[in-house]
Structure 1
């Protein structure tokens, strides 16, 4: 049996650094950006793939949560029996990104497909993470659909918008760099 070879990918390092910089505050504060983890899993699935990177990102997320709670005084309110469902939520994001690999060009149709996949993946991740927390955490005395709908309406817009902003901004920046590098290479070949 051969061991897998691990090559350091700059994109993976950049995404891991972004997670380390943003994961401590899920909703953001005046002094900290909101959590970019969802967009990171989507973009890692889109550009990098590989189950080892997925596992590494999961480990990083868990380690950051552990350090934030035990060393930095961040509330442990969200840590409950539902915490394990984050694996499925991040898996939805990863698979959404992987699915988008088939749309490789920068055509309007491909960009629209990726945007739609990001919205669908983020919505699925929200339903998994928020729904499991609501029903399994024991933090809600009453578990009615009406109360869940109220929480959904309160948290879903910021969950979706933060992920879309990160996803679009990072995708646009990487696409711009790729175009500039391709133009530079074309000029050098002349």
Structure 2
């Protein structure tokens, strides 16, 4: 898959940023709150945007949204600890896994399944980094130990990974539909020529 440029790049970056803003904190109220799509946005950003500068921009957006959430939207700062410094690594796992897989992605089922598999592995690794750093370095648990960490990993990991994979599955379906429409359009133009 070719990396988008110009207006297409800007549109994709804007769409991913919009999804991040719409899901990062509960600004529409509990009934309309969508699960946080941040992990999915970072994987999809790696797939479609790929640029290192775009990764940095998305990181800055997450920090800005967290600051606004805590400062103005009444969201607690429980998760903001020394471990917050590991979020770039956690999100980097997703971004660079997507960036690595991007040249292999097309509209074919096998390619889409491969993207889903890479995203799943990256989501698990990313969650392990963010959750592990929070647990071991966040200072919120007085006597951290491996058994308690594994218990918490199993408690929260499936939810975060399932949410991430749901967003990615939707994005891959949209990708497949768009690839099919583009192929049909290309074939029609070839027939008319």
Give me the TM-score of the superposition, normalised by structure 1.
0.90
Q: Assess if the C-alpha contact under 8 Å between 2:13 and 2:49 holds in 1.
A: yes
Q: Assess if the C-alpha contact under 8 Å between 2:108 and 2:176 holds in 1.
A: no
Q: Distance in 1 between matches of 2:113 and 2:168?
A: 13
4+ residue stretches of structure 1 with deviation over 6 A? none
Unpaired segments ≥5 residues, structure 1: 1-5
Deviations 1:56-83 (A, max 9, x none): 0000000000000000000111000000
Query: Which residue of structure 2 aligns with residue 18 of structure 1?
Result: 19
Are 2:177 and 1:187 aligned? Answer: no
Deviations 1:145-186 (A, max 9, x none): 111111111100101100000011012113212322332343
Query: Which residue of structure 1 aligns with residue 98 of structure 2?
Result: 97
Query: Which residue of structure 1 aligns with residue 137 of structure 2?
Result: 136
Query: Which residue of structure 2 aligns with residue 106 of structure 1?
Result: 107
CA shift for structure 1 position 54 = 0.4
CA shift for structure 1 position 88 = 0.1
Unpaired segments ≥5 residues, structure 2: none
Query: Which residue of structure 1 aligns with residue 88 of structure 2?
Result: 87
Instruction: Rate the CA distance shift 1:30–1:158 in 2: closer, same or farther, 3 A.
Output: farther
Q: Assess if the C-alpha contact under 8 Å between 2:46 and 2:96 holds in 1.
A: yes
Instruction: Rate the CA distance shift 1:155–1:15 in 2: closer, same or farther, 3 A.
Output: same
1:157-172 mapped onto 2 (5 Å cutoff): 157-172=158-173
**Greater Cα shift, 52-61 or 100-109:** 100-109
Q: Distance in 2 between matches of 1:170 and 1:105?
A: 13
SS of the residue corresponding to residue 61 of structure 2 reads helix
Deviations 1:68-110 (A, max 9, x none): 0000000111000000100000000011101112323333332
CA shift for structure 1 position 129 = 0.2
1:38-77 mapped onto 2 (5 Å cutoff): 38-77=39-78
Count residues with an aligned counterpart. 183
Q: Distance in 2 between matches of 1:7 and 1:48?
A: 11
**Greater Cα shift, 55-64 or 175-184:** 175-184
Give me the TM-score of the superposition, normalised by structure 2.
0.88
Query: Which residue of structure 2 aligns with residue 145 of structure 1?
Result: 146
Q: Distance in 2 between matches of 1:109 and 1:177?
A: 16
**Greater Cα shift, 176-185 or 45-54:** 176-185
Q: Distance in 1 between matches of 2:122 and 2:43?
A: 8
1:21-32 mapped onto 2 (5 Å cutoff): 21-25=22-26, 29-32=30-33
